[in-house]
């Protein structure tokens, strides 16, 4: 009985409207574009952190600060500069 009811009804939801090859190509294309966007985002973030590291007062023989160390150092450095300006 249930099978006879389904015959007359139109399909709902996402069926195999497109071929599976086309769908997988679209998924791959979307994934590659998302990967490119993320890679570019990380390159820009790393460039910004390098620029920030270059203006922070550190000794040249120190190891490169990690991302979180750079942000914490910058925060504390700005705070210290602000405090010295208030006292001056």
Q: Report pLDDT digits (tens) over 8-67.
A: 556 566 655 557 788 898 999 999 999 999 999 999 999 999 999 999 998 777 788 999
Smallest Cα–Cα separation from 53: which of 40, 63, 41? 63
* pLDDT given for residue 3 in this prediction: 57
Residue 7 tokens, joined: 């015959």
3-state secondary structure of 72: helix
* pLDDT given for residue 16 in this prediction: 56
Taking the alpha carbons at both ends of the chain, their separation in whole angstroms is 89
Question: Domains in the chain, ordered, with CATH?
Answer: 16-87 (4.10.280.10)
More confident residue, 58 or 80: 80
């Amino acid at each position: 009985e249930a099978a006879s009811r389904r015959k007359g009804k139109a399909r709902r939801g996402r069926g195999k409207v497109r071929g599976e090859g086309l769908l997988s190509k679209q998924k791959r294309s979307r994934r590659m574009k998302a990967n490119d966007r993320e890679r570019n985002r990380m390159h820009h973030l790393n460039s910004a952190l390098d620029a920030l590291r270059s203006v922070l007062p550190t000794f040249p023989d120190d190891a490169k600060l990690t991302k979180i160390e750079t942000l914490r150092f910058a925060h504390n450095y700005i705070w210290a500069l602000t405090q010295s300006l208030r006292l001056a």
